[in-house]
Amino acid sequence: MNNYIKPSWPAPNNIHAYTTTRRNGCSQAPYQSFNLADHVGDNPIAVQKNREQLKAELQLPNEPKWIQQVHSNIVISNDLPNSTPADAAYTKNSDVVCTVLTADCLPILVANKQGTKVAAIHAGWRSLANNIIENTVNAIENNNLLIWLGPAIGPTAFEVGRDVYQIFTDHDPATKQAFTKIDNNKWLANIYLLATQRLNKLGVYDIYGGDFCTYTDQHDFYSYRREDLTGRMASLIWIANSN
């Protein structure tokens, strides 16, 4: 199944986690081919076929919970209905598939080391700056966590303006390490480092992944910045029922 990335992390055996690539689906240009988002203008039939393929290939225990991502700091229990506005979802229940969709924003998968709690976070810069990570860790109520940073726009491609630079550095001067100045009004931002810094401040250090670039790897990943009209990858995590 070369259209999936499985996190390289020491999660318990009952924790299942994957991120999709853009490969081996049925969507047509400009969404080719394994688009899983139903809000980007793709043919609904193609999206549904891709979602059915996802469920079959990963043997998902249930339909993924498709939250309505709004670039917020809202975290919800994934036992709520589909399309609930939020940018992170968590569960303590077995066979509930936490899911986020991305195409440059940072997907973060979270599991505790006991294998009893999981979460999925959609961390664009707005959500990141407004404490989506902190809110999720607080919702899980456990710092004994494993983190996987999935495919996002890399530090050589993520150009931001002075407004974004100021938002982060005013909040924490240490974030200057995550920015490379281009000129007086432009910086390259390392979203992986920005997320890692916030996790470290929460006492979370078991962090894996973070070595992708959706913008430069056109073969494997969608990129909103590169293509504008494009599909979305899914990052999924769930607790397998041991019965």
**Confidence at residue 78, expressed as pLDDT on a 0 to 100 scale:** 75
All residues at 6 or more sequence positions from 88 whose CB lies less than 8 Å from its CB, including other chains: 74, 75, 76, 100, 119, 120, 121, 122, 127, 132, 135, 136, 139
Residue 136 falls inside a structural domain = yes
Q: Where are the alpha helices (DSSP H) in the chain?
A: 44-58, 125-129, 132-140, 162-171, 191-201, 224-227
Residue 215 falls inside a structural domain = yes
What CATH number is attached to the domain comprising 9? 3.60.140.10
Residue 184 falls inside a structural domain = no
Residue 232 falls inside a structural domain = yes
Confidence band (pLDDT; 50, 70, 90) for 240?
Answer: very high
Average pLDDT over residues 10-23: 97
Number of structural domains the chain divides into: 1
Residue 170 falls inside a structural domain = no
All residues at 6 or more sequence positions from 42 whose CB lies less than 8 Å from its CB, including other chains: 27, 31, 35, 231
What gap in Å lies between CA 117 and CA 123, rounded to an integer?
19
Residue 202 falls inside a structural domain = no
Residue 233 falls inside a structural domain = yes
Beta strands in 171-228 (DSSP E): 179-183, 186-189, 207-209
**Confidence at residue 80, expressed as pLDDT on a 0 to 100 scale:** 72
Higher pLDDT, 2 or 192: 192
Residue 239 has pLDDT above 60, yes or no: yes
**Confidence at residue 83, expressed as pLDDT on a 0 to 100 scale:** 75
Place of tokens 């491609």: 157
* pLDDT tens digits for range 152-196: 999 999 999 999 999 999 999 999 999 999 998 999 999 999 999
Is this prediction's pTM over 0.75? yes
Bridge-based pairing state of the strands 106-112 and 145-149:
antiparallel
Mean pLDDT value across the chain:
95
Residue 185 falls inside a structural domain = no
Average pLDDT over residues 117-127: 97
Helix (H, G, I), strand (E, B) or coil at 65: strand
* pLDDT tens digits for range 17-41: 999 999 999 999 999 999 999 999 9
Could you tell me the residue range of the domain that residue 14 belongs to? 4-152+210-239
In 3D space, the residue among 19, 213, 39 whose CA is nearest the CA of residue 100 turns out to be: 19
* pLDDT tens digits for range 94-111: 999 999 999 999 999 999
CB 23 within 8 A of CB 34: yes
